[in-house]
Structure 1
Amino acid sequence: MPGIKLVISDPEKGRSIQIEVDETKARALFDARLGQKVDGGSLGFGGYEFLITGGSDRDGFPMRKGIHGPVRKRVFIGSGPGFHPPYRGQRKRKMVRGDTVSEDIAQLNLKILKKGAKDIFE
């Protein structure tokens, strides 16, 4: 299994960086859910604390809050993530990924909550 791409954003600086972590570090994220805080030490970023804000699986289906487990489901939705209606009130059945991180996730979006001593962006 290849690693997971982490897109880490810093709301203070308004920047983001994409880092790929290997399988052993990625295992620390498995079974974490959207909106959950993650310790950065397990990912190789000592002193950092992250918030999981989103992601997508290997086939490009976005993770969606409210769908429990690491499953893919066809759900009837009227707003993002996964669907952005062209006109007000439109809803559509779309395939989305559940809110739990598993080995099928290819990209994970993280937001920095607490910074460590070393800057990630250098």
Structure 2
Amino acid sequence: MAFKVVVSQKEVTHQIEVEDGKALNGLVIGDEFDGGIVGLDGYTLKVTGGADKNGFTMKKDVPGTRRIKSLLSGGIGYHPKSDGVKRRKTVRGNTIADDIVQVNTVVVSAGSKAIADILGVGDEEEEK
């Protein structure tokens, strides 16, 4: 299953398509992994969240890969319009599995080359 890995480095964000996402299976929100898995050699990335194939967000305090209906008063998955409002919403567990299609990450330690140089993002804009 293909993953979309969103890599955030300060105010810049890059999206990477990863065909073989089996190496990411089993990682939990908060885990760090080698960026070489997604093509960013020399980088260390930290999982901060994600979404499954139906758009349900991963929540750090829900263990496992399951989907549950949780009573939320705010935070990930629900943003109430006024104070004190609670709502039951469906959220995904904190572990990456085959159902996850987007994985959000942040850079913990950078490599020697910039992410834009590795991905070749700046080359397309210069050609136009």
Tell me what 1:88 maps to.
83
**Secondary structure in 2 aligned to 1:41?**
helix
Tell me what 1:74 maps to.
69
Pick one of 39, 55, 61 that aligns with 1:60. 55
d(CA) in 2 for partners of 1:52, 1:87? 30
d(CA) in 2 for partners of 1:42, 1:6? 11
1:62 Cα offset (Å): 0.3
Cα pair 2:8 2:106 within 8 Å, conserved: yes
Aligned runs of 1:18-29 on 2, under 5 Å?
Answer: 18-23=15-20, 26-29=21-24
Cα pair 1:6 1:20 within 8 Å, conserved: yes
1:43 Cα offset (Å): 2.3
| Superposition misfits of 4+ residues, deviation over 4 angstroms | none
d(CA) in 2 for partners of 1:45, 1:27? 17
Higher CA-based Rg: 2
TM-score with structure 2 setting the length? 0.87
The structure in which a higher percent of residues are helix is 2
**Secondary structure in 1 aligned to 2:115?**
coil
Deviations 1:15-53 (A, max 9, x none): 001111112xx1111100011111112222211000111
Structure 2 alignment gaps of length 5 or more: 118-128
